[in-house]
Amino acid sequence: MKFKLTRKQKKMLYRIIAAAGLLVIAVVVTHLIDLPWWAELLIYVIPYIVSGYDVLKTAVINLLHGQVFDEKFLMMVATVGAFGSGEYPEASTVMLFYQVGELFQSIAVGRSRKSISSLMDIRPDSATVIRDGIESTVSPDEVEVGEIIVVRPGEKIPLDGIVEEGTSSVNTAALTGESAPVDVNYSDNVISGTVNLTGVIKVKTTSTFGESTVSKILELVENSSEKKAKVENFITKFARWYTPCVVIAALLLAVVPPLVLGMGSWDVWKTWLVRACVFLVVSCPCALVVSVPLSFFGGIGGAAKEGILIKGANYMETLASIDTVVFDKTGTLTKGIFAVEDIHPQEIDKTDLLDIAAACESFSSHPVAQSVVRAHGDHIDKDRISDVKEIAGKGVEAVIDGVRYFCGNGPLMELCKADYHDCHLTGTIIHIAKEVSEGKTEYLGHIVINDEIKEDSASAVKTLKKIGIKRVVMLTGDKEKVAKSVAEKLGLTDYHAELLPADKVERVEKLLSEGCKLAFTGDGINDAPVLMRADLGIAMGAMGSDAAIESADVVLMDDKTMGIAKAVLIARKTMRIVKENVFFALAVKALILVLGAVGIANMWLAVFGDVGVLILAILNAVRAMKIKFKY
């Protein structure tokens, strides 16, 4: 990702360069010329003011408003104290390096924000709606459900809807992270926020802008920073108490030892004043206060680039600790779409068997019937078909080219007295028979229909186990035989079938009672109660229901099961970076604080303890934005 400095950052950089140049001049002049103390002080105050006037201004304003204990106040007290004790170069250098750290922080936050705010580009500016046969350009929130909108090549699709006319390719990268365009035709669903690439399409809207996918995503992104992780809340509270304690400790360090060791000696006062200034400089909590939320922000941004929306840092923290993943089957591990899996003809070839079945089923709107028609693909001449009768709960009877055919389940075959047999495969079995004479039928074979398993489901289950997820469980309302077949194909041994929504909640609660840290993944409206009950709810977003998306804590925009493994790895990396920053910052600061208190550490080491640690922590936090998925 290319990143340019903002106008404010450029201005800050120019100030730092100018101050650094003036500081070098001051050092050279004071080494070559023996100046009086006031002249030397003036020479070093100039770069100090150039680099840090905004810090001093903010500290004074906060002081006047009663906001005393913040990092700018600490920097002002420490550097002014250093000037007062004759440490002129150190005081000016501390302020300069503090501003370098502030610039690094601003750039890092900007990069992290950009990785998330790139999602904001999906917000459509307008919609072209057809009213009374006339095209009008209006705001997306003025379009009602059921209206027809026109989307031309290069335009964002402003609202969710169904293609009524035209064909095109749609770029979904902003939502899903998937670079390959998706072809859309008549009756296909399209999602707001995606970009129409090739053809003009007319779309019948299925939601208002406020309820559209793009609106919900923008709301999730905008609110993600409000939900802090436990470690973030700890750092905020820590800084609130830590800073005043440090100021009091520095004051005691500056005053108590001189009073004890020799109140009349300026050298003693100066020594302890310098130590107190060192103590103040190194004690600034900015490395913790900045790097921890920045790490979470970077992790959320890195996940967004992969098409994974994590609603807040608290969910990132939970996701990293997950040891059990529970899947709903339909629409999560499977596509939720019926398709012909196999054709088993008897005394007829596969093409002819499928042709007969498609002709019989072409008059039905049932999903199973439609899957047969889709598998047939070719145009069905309905003039060939007559006397179509739908037999409730059994199938269809139809006459094709003067021959009567029966297409349906086992009970239909028994009704027409066909000598059929069951299939060794699991799924929905459509048997086909034809009438050869009155009261006599011939069995032609059967077609196996199944809900298709997603291409990446098996590898996702394998990857989850590989990265240390202890239990992977499948829950489904399907029959035991179907569930067992899907579980075997996916390499799952832990599954439960024939469950109602309430049964799924019960199963999840049982796992939670066993001490599992559990994530539940689903896509349907009936999954919402389970998503809310789990430690973490993950929704398949692109095709998932509104209720599932709103109830979930994490949304996978590309509907790919592998996204769950990616999300876990991103969360773990983010938490690892957070812990590294906390430990490193506290350890280095504690060491230098002790060394400074006993007089071993000087102001230069204090600069490293503050600004150096801050910069290193920021650079480490930025790593959370760069995710490499190896599985």
- 133: domain CATH number is 2.70.150.10
Terminal-residue alpha carbon distance, the chain: 23
What count of residues does the chain have? 631
pLDDT tens digits for range 347-370: 889 999 999 999 998 887 777 788
Residues 428, 474: one domain?
Answer: no
State how far the Cα of 557 lies from the Cα of 310, in Å rounded to an integer. Answer: 11
- With 80 as the cut, is the pLDDT of residue 281 above it? no
CATH of the domain at 322: 3.40.50.1000
- Three-state DSSP at 585 gives helix
The residue among 399, 431, 452 that closes a domain is: 452
Residue 523 lies in a domain: yes
Query: Which is nearest to 557 in space by CA: 538, 542, 536?
Result: 542
The verdict on residue 80 lying in a domain is no
pLDDT tens per residue across span 547-577: 556 667 888 877 788 989 999 999 999 899 8
Predicted TM-score of the model (pTM): 0.66
Instruction: Take residue 241 and report the two structure tokens written for it.
Output: 């108490």
Same domain, 536 and 436: no
Give the model's pLDDT for residue 624. 75
pLDDT class of 397 with cuts at 50, 70, 90: very high
Answer yes or no: is 429 within a domain.
Answer: yes
For residues 486 and 559, membership in a common domain is answered with yes
Res 326: pLDDT? 94
303 belongs to a structural domain:
no
Do 565 and 468 belong together in one domain? yes
Q: What residues does 432 pair with on adjacent strands?
A: 407, 445
Residue 140 confidence (pLDDT) above 70: yes
Using the predicted structure, report yes or no on whether residue 405 has a pLDDT greater than 90. Answer: yes
Domain count for the chain, please give it: 3
Indicate the helix (H) or strand (E) that contains 110: helix 88-117
- pLDDT, mean of residues 470-490: 87
Please state, in angstroms and as integers, the Cα–Cα distance from residue 95 to each residue in 20, 106, 239, 249, 286, following that order.
11, 16, 21, 22, 14
Q: How far apart are CA 112 and CA 302, in angstroms?
A: 8
Domain check: are 421 and 494 in the same one?
no
pLDDT at 262 over 70: no
Calpha distance 461→333 (Å, rounded): 9
What's the confidence (pLDDT) of residue 24?
A: 93
The reply to whether 323 and 400 lie within a common domain is no
> Does 490 lie in the same domain as 350?
no
Distance separating alpha carbons of residues 292 and 321, to the nearest angstrom: 18
For residue 472, give the 3-state DSSP assignment.
Answer: strand
Is residue 408 within 8 Å of 396, Cβ to Cβ? Answer: yes
Q: Say how far apart CA 615 and CA 99 lie, in whole Å.
A: 11
E strand residue ranges, 68-167: 127-131, 134-138, 148-151, 161-165
Output the domain CATH number for residue 341: 3.40.1110.10
Both 542 and 506 in one domain: the answer is: yes
Q: Which residues are the active-site residues?
A: 328
Q: Which residues of 372-389 are buried (b: 16+ CB within 10 A; e: fewer)?
A: bbebbeeebeeeebeebe
Bigger pLDDT: 163 vs 617 = 163
Domain enclosing residue 321, as ranges? 309-334+455-570
**CA distance linking residue 128 with residue 135, whole number of Å:** 6
CA distances from 346 to 372, 421, 442 (A): 18, 11, 10
Helix (H) or strand (E) holding 282: helix 266-283
Q: What is the pLDDT of residue 5?
A: 74
Query: Would 294 be classed as within a structural domain?
Result: no
201 lies in some domain = yes
Last residue of a domain, one of 409, 426, 452: 452
Q: Residue 451 in contact with residue 330, Cβ under 8 Å?
A: yes
pLDDT of residue 118: 53
**Sole residue written with tokens 């599954």:** 495
**Residue 125, pLDDT score:** 76
Question: Mean pLDDT in the chain?
Answer: 80
How far apart, in Å, are the Cα atoms of 110 and each of 167, 289, 297?
39, 16, 11
| Domain co-membership, 370 together with 329 | no
Q: CB of 601 within 8 A of CB of 595? A: yes
What whole-number distance in Å separates Cα of residue 215 and Cα of residue 212?
A: 5
Contact 122, 78 (CB under 8 A): no
On whether the CB atoms of residues 420 and 433 are closer than 8 A, the answer is yes
Q: Is residue 207 part of a domain?
A: yes
pLDDT of residue 1: 45
Distance CA 521, CA 65 (A): 49
Rounded average pLDDT over 519-542: 78
Q: Are residues 346 and 210 in the same domain?
A: no
SS (H, E, C) 552-600: CCEEECCCCCHHHHHHHHHHHHHHHHHHHHHHHHHHHHHHHHHHHHCCC
How far is it, in rounded angstroms, from Cα 214 to Cα 236?
33
315 and 460 share one domain: yes
Average pLDDT estimate for 176-194: 74
Of 399, 421, 452, which marks where a domain is finished?
Answer: 452
Give residue 224's pLDDT: 46
Q: Are residues 327 and 459 in the same domain?
A: yes
Stretch 408-414: mean pLDDT, rounded?
A: 90
Tell me the average pLDDT across 476-495: 86
pLDDT surpasses 90 at 462: yes
229 is written with which tokens?
A: 């992780």
Full 3-state SS string of 191-202: CCCCEECCCCEE
pLDDT band at 17 (very low <50, low <70, confident <90, very high): very high
Domain assignment present for 88: no
